[in-house]
Chains A and B, each alone.
Chain A
């Protein structure tokens, strides 16, 4: 199994550009989430989804959109990139029941110039 796959691994954007970070999981997990990791701040939740068609905001949602049209995919859209969105982004997935661990993708390092 591939687990959680994020693409791209690295990206440089200019201020104002838009882009989509892709996240796919092949474990049939109901739950998926996006986090950003900034120095000294740990990981902070951006958006999450408890199933296809259901999404909600996390701690730092501004500037990001998500959708969940399938169980497998949970893309994160940056509408108009800003330097403050320079960060490492992680996608995670987990089962709804049994409260197992969250599986994380390899991360996407995004730089906005």
Chain B
């Protein structure tokens, strides 16, 4: 069975600091997809990134970057120069290729608070 672990339950940092959210996953599949979603205080789920298991290139999008390492089964998310608007709960999720996206396994989430 697949599993996603987000060991950091809550993180608080002062605005403009960098912060990394950890995600470790388990799967028996060789083909799979990893996701990050943001859940702001308003409650909706906002898609941030999707990465497939064959693409280990790191990705950067503005202040956001993701580090995918198959050797350690990790898909970590870094926010550079954090802002108050980054305060949210962040979820890492895993989808096994065979089942597409209808069966996502989520981690328990990391609540990030940015202190002004």
Contacts and interface: CB of A to CB of B under 8 A. Distances in A.
Interface residues of A, number: 28
Contact of B102 (A31, A44, A90, A104): A31
A35 B102 CA distance: 10
Interface in B34-73: 35, 37, 43-45, 47, 50, 52
B103 A33 contact: yes
Given A104-B45, A106-B44, A107-B43, A99 B106 contact: no
Contacts of B6: 42
Interface in B64-116: 91, 93, 95, 97, 100-109
Interface string A92-110: 1011100111111011000
Nearest to A51: B102
A100 B106 CA distance: 16
A44 B109 CA distance: 12
Given A101-B35, A107-B43, A43 B103 contact: no
A53 interface: no
A52 interface: no
Given A100-B50, A101-B50, A94 B91 contact: no
Interface of A: 31-33, 35, 40-45, 48-50, 58, 88, 90, 92, 94-96, 99-104, 106-107
